[in-house]
Structure 1
Amino acid sequence: MDLAYFSSFIRTVLIIIVAFYALRFIMKLLAPVIVQQVVKKAEQHMYESHTKQDDYRQPRQKAAEKPQEKKKVGEYIDFEEIE
């Protein structure tokens, strides 16, 4: 009975060790691809946010180039207090 528990324990430990090393090996192969995809996605996000900022800036620059004339309502009169 004790021998069955010991052999199943050894088998479980070996499965865990093999799974760990297999996962490490797979990650070494896939890590460059995953990192490349993450960098590409971040680059795309930065480009999109930059173009959106340019779209918002262009109308403001045009408005700044052509100042609107203010309507003249009347002339300014300075009143003085009478005591």
Structure 2
Amino acid sequence: MQTASFTGFIRIVFYILAFYYIFKFLAKLFLPLIVKKVVQKAGENFQQQQQRSQGSSWDNTQAKDEVIYDTKNNKNPRETKKVGEYVDYEEID
């Protein structure tokens, strides 16, 4: 059975600290590049989805060759939900 020595403990603490600072340094260098690539890729995917959805809706309207006008007049606006009653309070001196 081996016993732990003080020098072995110091060596392990040194390795842990060295690994931490090296990882921190490399993260500062490479993490912004990785995040930039991920955001750029997400933007490209978003643009492709938008183009596909606009293209398919445009193809649907082109295929029908008809124009739809919305002539419905909304004279009655949506009623807001009424919650309780309005009570006017007066201040008494």
What's the TM-score once normalised by structure 1's chain length? 0.68
* Structure index of larger Rg: 1
Deviation of the 1:59 alpha carbon: 2.2
The amino acid across from 2:13 in the alignment is V
Is 1:58 aligned to 2:43, yes or no?
Answer: no
Which is helix-richer, 1 or 2?
A: 1
Structure 2 CA distance for aligned equivalents of residues 31 and 66 of structure 1: 51
User: In structure 1, what is the equivalent of residue 33 of structure 2?
Assistant: 33
Structure 2 CA distance for aligned equivalents of residues 48 and 7 of structure 1: 59
CA-to-partner distance for each residue in 1:2-48, whole Å, 9 max, x for gaps? 6x621111100110001001100010011211111011101110011
User: In structure 1, what is the equivalent of residue 20 of structure 2?
Assistant: 20
**Structure 2 residues not aligned, in runs of 5+:** 69-93
Number of matched pairs: 66
Q: CA RMSD in A?
A: 2.2
Report the identity percentage: 29
